[in-house]
Amino acid sequence: MKSIYFYTLIGLLFTGFFSSCDDDNMDPEMPGTVSLMLENKFGDANVDLSSTFTSSKGDEITFSRFEYIISNVELVKEDGSIYSIPDSYYFMGQRSTDDSKREMIELKDIPAGNYKGINFSVGVDSETNANTDNFEKGDLEGGVGMDWGWASGYKFISWNGSYFNDVENKDVNFSFHIGTDANYKTITKDFGKTISINDGMTSQIHLEVMAGKVFEAVGLNETGLNYPPPADVKTFTGVMFSPEDKATAIANAYAEMFMLHHVHNMEMN
């Protein structure tokens, strides 16, 4: 008798494992995964932390950090209803040369169905931006260069690097650190068709993130960029909260930098 109990137990245990977390049976009625690819581009080239890119305004730019926050991802169903991905906060891009590129988000447990679009935001919503210890929310983490200590809040984009300064005739550092509620931007993308997302499908939404658009809106060799003025203004050009017009121009540009490349889905075998 004891051994029968024992084997039943083992059997049940394994069933428990599989049915709860490792379902190998594909079922088109069951929730699926879609990957969101955010491919960072400067013109035709991929953004990395070693190349030099030339903006439409003629600035020669090299990044040392290219990081931004994507949040509050929603998928739009065929009938127009919305599925919001809970706690969807992601640090995207590349933090340093020690860090790998983060360009892919796996959106899991999406209810099975046909979807025609995606909405997401750059930055974090005002409620989440009220404090910087929000570990409960997705990737969000404080003290890793994506938030400000002197004025609580997240950096929606943290782009650092250097550019060739025409006046100084040498490379000068720059920082585009943009935050505050006013610069939280929501992006809406219509696929132009529908894709099925379910347990039996592998699906992808591929966007290109055209960083050049931001440097088209704000040229690094333009005047009036310095805030706060550092000890040696000549080696630094930055935008943080202020001057507000520059911060606004950058935010308006990053709201427009996401280009739908394509969406696809394939039935899994």
Partner 1 sequence: MEKRFILFILLSGFVIACDQDISPEITPTFIELDVPEYMGKTVPFPERNPFSKEGIELGRMLFYDPILSSNNQISCATCHKQELAFSDGVALSTLGVSGNTLQRHAPAIINLAWNDGLFWDGGAKDLESLTFAPLAHPDEMNQDITELVEELKQIPDYRERFKKVFGKDTIQSALIVRALAQFQRSLISHNSKYDKYLRNEEGGTLNSLELKGMELVGKKCSNCHSGEFFTDFSYHNNGLDAVFPAEPEHVGKGRNRVTLNPEELGAFKTPTLRNIMLTAPYMHDGRFKSIEEVLDHYAQNMVNSPTLDTTFILQNENFGVPLSEEEKEAIVAFFQTLTDFTFINNQAHSNPFLIRKE
Q: Are 32 and 201 in contact (CB under 8 A)?
A: yes
Determine, following the binding rule CB under 8 A, whether residue 39 of this chain makes contact with partner 1: no
Whole-number Å distance between alpha carbons of 252 and 245: 10
- Told to check if 208 binds partner 1 by CB under 8 A, we report no
- Examine residue 242 and tell whether it contacts partner 1 (CB under 8 A): yes
Residue 9 Cβ vs partner 1, minimum distance, rounded to whole Å: 5
Size, binding site for partner 1 by CB under 8 A: 34
Residues 14-33 that bind partner 1 (CB under 8 A): 16-17, 20-21
Smaller CB distance to partner 1: residue 132 or 158? 132
Q: Which two tokens mark 231?
A: 């000890």
Of 6 and 267, which has the nearer Cβ to partner 1?
6
Tell me which residue of 242, 190, 155 sits closest to 75, measured CA to CA: 190
Would you say 47 or 240 has its CB closer to partner 1?
A: 240
Reference 259, options 204, 217, 208; nearest CA is 208
CA dihedral defined by 84, 46, 148, 59, rounded to 10 degrees? -130
Among 241, 251, 254, 265, binds partner 1 (CB under 8 A): 241
By CB under 8 A, tell whether 232 contacts partner 1: no
- 237's enclosing H/E stretch is strand 236-239
The dihedrals phi and psi of 196, each to the nearest 5 degrees, come to -90, 135
CB of 154 to partner 1, least distance (A): 10
Nearer to partner 1, 50 or 135 (CB): 135
Residue whose CB is less far from partner 1, 35 or 152: 152
Specify the residue, 23 or 166, whose C-beta has the smaller distance to partner 1: 23
Binding to partner 1 by residue 51, rule CB under 8 A? no
Contacting residues for 182 by C-beta, under 8 A, at least 6 apart? 248, 251
Window 113-152: contact mask with partner 1 (x via CB under 8 A): -----------------xxxxxxx----xxxx--xxxxxx
12 lines the binding site for partner 1 (CB under 8 A):
yes
Shortest distance, CB of residue 180 to partner 1, whole angstroms? 10
Task: Report how far apart, in Å, the C-alpha atoms of 193 and of each of 153, 241, 256, 261 are.
Answer: 37, 39, 21, 13
15 vs 188, which CB is nearer to partner 1? 15
d(CA 77, CA 73) in angstroms, rounded, equals 13
Contact set for partner 1, span 52-111 (CB under 8 A): none
Task: Mark 154-190 as b/e (b = at least 16 C-beta within 10 Å).
Answer: bbbbbbbbbbbbeeeeebbebbbbbbbeebbbebebe
In the range 153-182, which residues lie near partner 1 by CB under 8 A? 153
| Residue 122 or 240 having the CB closest to partner 1 | 240
Q: Phi, psi (5° rounding) for residue 3?
A: -70, -35
Binding site for partner 1 (CB under 8 A): 5, 8-9, 12-13, 16-17, 20-21, 130-136, 141-144, 147-153, 228-231, 241-242, 244
